[in-house]
C-alpha cells in the first residue's frame, strides 16, 4: 500500500472513529480513479431530445452530460451554484443586471470553437415568445428584459425586476447552451446527430427503446474531468426489468424517477446487502389531481372543494408509497426550506386533518347541493407507471362523497393530447417535479393562470398577484410570508384546479463502487456524472 493510501485510510478511520466525518467526506479522501463505464437507466424512451422545448425527465437524462450551461450546480455539492461556461459573474449596482464572463478556449464536440454567438443563439431561442420552452423559457421569459453581448467574452442579462429566481434558473440543467451552427443546420435538437455539446461527455449512440450511451470528451475544458470513460443508460420501462438490473448490478445508480418503494428497497437489500447504499430521499415532486375549471362540474368551487375534502391523503400515501412521503404538503421543508408551511399546520387544515368523517360529510353536503343524486364524471388516467392504479384509488375514495368517476385510461401521448384539447373533467393522478431550486418553480408551473402545467386552467387574480410578488421580493423573510399566504389560500380557501395530494419520497440506491455521486435537491440538476468515478 502506497503512502498516499495509508494516509487516506488513516484519515478515514480517524474520522469515522471520531464520528464527526461523514462517509461522503471520508470517501472524498480516496484517490479518484479514471476509467470504467457507469451503468444507469432511464424510465422511458425519450424519443425527442431537444431539451430546449421538451420537458420530460427522460429527455434531460438523455442529454445531461453532453451540454454545459453558464452556471451549474456543483456535482460535489448539488446545493451550490458554481461556474461552468461562465467563469464568473458580476451583478449591476441596482440588482437588475448580471454580466457573465465566458470561458475561453472551449470547443464543441465537433471541434468548432465556442463563442458568445452560441450563447445568443441559445437564449434567443429559449426566450423567443413564439418558441414554447417549457422549462428554461418558462423560468426566464417573465423576468428577463433583454440579453446583451457587449463583447465576445461577456453576456449581460438585464432583468425587469430584481428576481431571486434568476441565478438558480441560469444554473438549472434546463438552461444550457447549444451550438449555433447545429441549431442553424438542424433547426432543432431533436435527433441524436444534433447532440453536439461542450459537456464532459460526447453523445455516442441512441438505440430507440434500448440504450443511450455517452463517451468521455477528451477535449473537455477542465482536463481533470470526466473521470469515467462513459455512461450507458439502459431504457428500462418495466418495473420488473428495473429491479432485475438493480439486483444483478447492471446499473450503478437508481435515481431519480420513479424511486424504489420500500418493498423494492428491502428486496434489493436482501440481494445486494452492503454492496449498495440505500437512502430515503425526497423526489421534489408533487402528486396531484387536476380538475378542469373551465367546464362543469369543476368550474364550481364547491365541487372542487368537495374533492379536496373527500380525498384521504394519508391512506393514498400509505397504499401507494407504503407510508413514505408528505401527504398534503405543497412545499417541503427538506427541499424548499423555510418556504414550506410547517407540517403541523398543513395537517390541521380541512381535507388533511384526521379523522376524515367531518370532511367527508361536508364533501357529501357540497355535492348534494348541486347534484342531489350524486355526481358522475369522467376521469382521465395515464396508462404508464402506476398512474392508473393511483387514479383507481382516488376514484374509489371519491365514492364516499357520492362522486362517481369513470376511468378513461390513455397512453402518454393520447392523454396529453386530451389535456391539450381540454377534453377531461378530472385527471385522476399525475406528478409534477419542481425543476429549479426555488419554490417559484412549482408555483409557476401549477397554479398561476399561465402556468405550463395548470392543466385545469384555474385563474385567480389574487393568486397571480401573490405569485408575482413572490418572484419580485428579494427579502427572504418577506418572501417566506408570501409563500405561506399562497399555501394557506390553496389549502383553506380555494383548492384551485390542482388538488394537492402531497410530496413524493422514495428509496434510491448507489452502488458503493460508484464514488462521488451526490443526490441533488432538484432531480434534474446532477445527472452529468462529471466528477463521479468507479472502483470496479
Partner 1 sequence: MTEQRVTAAPAATATALEGDTLLAQAVSGARFLAKSQPLGVIGLFIVVVLCAVALFAPWLAHYGPKITAFDTYQPPSAAHWFGTDHLGRDIFSRVVWGARLSLYVGLASVGVGVTLGWVWGLVSGYFGGWFDSVSQRLVDILMGFPPIILALALMAVLGQSVNNVVLALIVLLMPTAARTMRAAVLSIREMTYVESAQAVGCSHWRVIFVHLAPNTLGTYIVLVTVNIAYAIVVEAALSFLGLGSPPDEPSWGGMLTAATESLERAPWIAFFPGLAISLVVFGMNLLGDALRDLTDAKLRGTTGAE
Binding site for partner 1 (CB under 8 A): 239-240, 263, 267, 319, 381, 383, 386, 388-389, 391-393, 395-397, 399, 406-409, 411
Give min distance, CB of 399 to partner 1, in A.
Answer: 7
Cα 107 to the chain's mean position, in Å?
A: 29
**Cβ closer to partner 1: 37 or 243?**
243
CB of 393 to partner 1, least distance (A): 5
C-alpha cell of 348? 390541521
Dig out the grid coordinates for 110 from the structure: 465537433
Q: How far is the CB of 358 from partner 1 (least distance, A)?
A: 19
Report how far residue 493's alpha carbon sits from residue 301's, in angstroms, rounded to the nearest whole number: 9
| Rounded Cα distance, 80 and 534, in Å | 24
Output 175 or 381, the one with its CB closest to partner 1.
Answer: 381
- The three-class DSSP label of residue 382 is strand
User: Considering only CA atoms, which of 527, 530, 513 is closest in space to residue 40?
Assistant: 527
Residues 6+ apart with CB under 8 A from 464: 448, 449
Strand partners, 234: 41, 211
Helix (H) or strand (E) run with residue 37 in it: strand 37-42
Q: Rounded CA gap, 530 and 532, in Å?
A: 6
Nearer to partner 1, 293 or 429 (CB): 429
Instruction: Please report, for residues 77, 209, 239, 393, the alpha-carbon distance to residue 386 in angstroms, rounded to integers and kept in the order given.
Output: 32, 20, 10, 11
Nearest approach, Cβ of 137 to partner 1 (angstroms)? 33
Residue nearer to partner 1 on the CB measure, 215 or 312: 312
- Indicate the residue among 63 and 397 with the shorter CB distance to partner 1: 397
Cell of 468: 408575482
Q: How far is the CB of 58 from partner 1 (least distance, A)?
A: 20
- Provide the pairing of β-strand 533-534 with 514-515: antiparallel
Tell me, what DSSP letter sits at residue 44? S
Q: Which is nearer to partner 1, 30 or 378 (CB)?
A: 378
Nearer to partner 1, 188 or 267 (CB): 267
Smallest distance from the beta carbon of 405 to partner 1, in angstroms? 9
Smallest distance from partner 1 to CB 453, Å = 23
Q: Tell me the three cell numbers of residue 510.
A: 448507489
Name the grid cell of 445: 408551473
Strands 37-42 and 230-235: parallel
The residue among 266 and 277 lying less far from partner 1, judged by its C-beta, is 266
Sign, CA torsion 288/293/296/299: positive
CA distance linking residue 429 with residue 382, whole number of Å: 8
Q: What are 290's strand-pairing partners?
A: 427, 498
Contact present, 453 and 445 (Cβ < 8 Å)? yes
- The CB-of-239 to partner 1 minimum distance in angstroms stands at 5
CB of 523 to partner 1, least distance (A): 22
Cβ of 426: how many Cβ atoms within 10 Å? Answer: 27
> Min. distance of Cβ 86 from partner 1 in angstroms?
45
Minimum CB distance to partner 1 smaller for 213 or for 423: 423
Q: Tell me the sheet residues that pair with 230.
A: 37, 215
Q: Choose between 117 and 407: whose C-beta lies nearer to partner 1.
A: 407
User: 261, exposed or middle or buried, with CB in 10 Å at 0-12, 13-18, 19+?
Assistant: middle
Closest approach of partner 1 to the CB of residue 396, in Å: 4
Secondary structure (3-state) at 211: strand
Q: Which residues contact 120 (CB under 8 A, 6 or more apart)?
A: 147, 149, 155, 180
User: Which of residues 30 and 267 has its CB atom nearest to partner 1 in the complex?
Assistant: 267
55 or 429: whose CB is closer to partner 1? 429
- Nearest-CA neighbor of 434 among 315, 288, 532? 288
8-state DSSP, 260: B
Supply the minimum distance, in Å, between the C-beta of residue 241 and partner 1: 11
49/393 with CB nearer partner 1: 393
* Cis before 512? omega within 30: no
Distance in Å, CB of 409 to partner 1, minimum: 5
Amino acid at each position: 500500500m502506497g503512502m498516499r493510501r495509508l494516509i487516506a485510510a488513516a484519515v478515514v478511520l480517524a474520522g469515522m472513529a471520531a464520528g464527526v466525518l461523514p462517509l461522503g467526506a471520508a470517501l472524498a479522501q480516496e484517490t479518484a480513479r479514471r476509467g470504467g463505464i457507469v451503468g444507469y437507466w432511464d424510465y422511458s424512451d425519450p424519443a425527442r431530445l431537444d431539451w430546449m422545448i421538451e420537458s420530460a425527465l427522460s429527455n434531460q437524462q438523455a442529454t445531461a452530460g453532453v451540454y454545459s450551461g453558464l452556471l451549474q450546480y456543483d456535482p460535489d455539492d448539488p446545493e451550490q451554484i458554481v461556474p461552468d461556461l461562465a467563469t464568473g459573474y458580476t451583478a449591476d449596482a441596482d440588482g437588475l443586471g448580471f454580466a457573465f464572463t465566458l470561458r475561453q478556449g472551449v470547443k464543441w464536440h465537433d471541434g468548432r470553437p465556442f463563442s458568445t454567438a452560441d450563447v445568443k443563439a441559445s437564449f434567443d431561442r429559449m426566450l423567443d415568445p413564439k418558441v414554447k420552452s417549457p422549462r428554461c423559457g418558462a423560468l426566464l421569459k417573465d423576468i428577463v428584459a433583454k440579453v446583451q453581448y457587449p463583447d465576445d467574452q461577456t453576456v449581460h442579462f438585464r432583468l425587469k425586476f430584481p428576481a431571486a429566481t434568476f441565478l438558480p434558473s441560469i444554473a438549472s440543467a434546463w438552461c444550457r447552451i447549444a451550438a449555433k451552427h447545429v441549431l442553424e443546420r438542424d433547426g432543432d435538437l431533436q435527433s441524436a446527430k444534433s447532440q453536439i455539446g461542450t459537456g464532459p461527455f460526447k453523445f455516442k449512440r441512441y438505440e430507440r427503446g434500448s440504450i443511450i450511451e455517452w463517451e468521455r470528451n477528451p477535449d473537455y475544458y477542465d482536463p481533470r474531468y470526466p473521470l469515467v470513460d462513459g455512461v450507458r443508460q439502459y431504457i428500462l420501462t418495466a418495473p420488473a426489468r428495473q429491479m432485475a438490473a438493480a439486483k444483478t448490478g447492471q446499473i450503478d445508480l437508481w435515481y431519480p424517477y420513479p424511486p424504489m418503494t420500500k418493498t423494492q428497497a428491502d428486496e434489493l437489500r436482501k440481494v445486494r446487502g452492503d454492496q449498495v447504499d440505500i437512502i430515503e430521499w425526497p423526489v421534489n415532486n408533487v402528486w396531484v389531481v387536476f380538475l378542469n375549471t373551465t367546464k362543469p362540474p369543476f368550474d364550481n368551487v364547491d365541487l372542487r372543494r368537495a374533492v379536496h375534502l373527500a380525498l384521504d391523503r394519508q391512506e393514498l400515501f400509505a397504499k401507494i408509497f407504503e407510508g413514505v412521503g408528505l401527504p398534503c404538503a405543497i412545499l417541503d421543508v427538506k427541499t424548499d426550506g423555510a418556504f414550506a408551511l410547517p407540517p403541523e399546520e398543513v395537517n390541521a387544515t380541512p381535507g388533511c386533518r384526521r379523522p376524515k368523517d367531518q370532511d367527508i360529510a361536508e364533501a357529501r353536503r357540497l355535492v348534494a347541493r348541486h347534484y342531489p343524486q350524486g355526481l358522475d364524471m369522467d376521469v382521465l388516467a395515464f396508462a404508464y407507471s402506476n398512474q392508473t392504479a393511483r387514479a383507481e384509488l382516488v376514484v374509489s375514495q371519491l365514492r364516499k362523497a357520492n362522486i362517481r368517476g369513470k376511468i378513461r385510461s390513455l397512453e402518454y401521448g393520447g392523454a396529453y393530447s386530451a389535456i391539450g384539447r381540454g377534453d377531461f373533467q378530472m385527471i385522476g393522478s399525475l406528478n409534477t417535479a419542481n425543476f429549479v431550486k426555488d419554490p417559484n418553480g412549482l408555483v409557476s408551473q401549477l397554479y398561476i393562470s399561465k402556468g405550463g402545467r395548470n392543466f385545469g386552467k384555474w385563474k385567480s387574480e389574487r393568486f397571480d398577484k401573490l405569485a408575482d410578488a413572490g418572484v419580485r421580493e428579494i427579502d427572504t423573510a418577506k418572501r417566506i410570508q408570501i409563500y405561506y399566504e399562497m399555501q394557506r389560500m390553496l389549502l383553506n380557501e380555494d383548492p384551485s384546479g390542482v388538488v394537492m395530494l402531497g410530496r413524493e419520497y422514495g428509496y434510491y440506491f448507489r452502488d458503493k463502487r460508484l464514488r462521488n455521486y451526490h443526490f441533488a435537491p432538484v432531480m434534474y440538476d446532477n445527472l452529468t456524472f462529471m466528477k463521479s468515478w468507479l472502483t470496479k
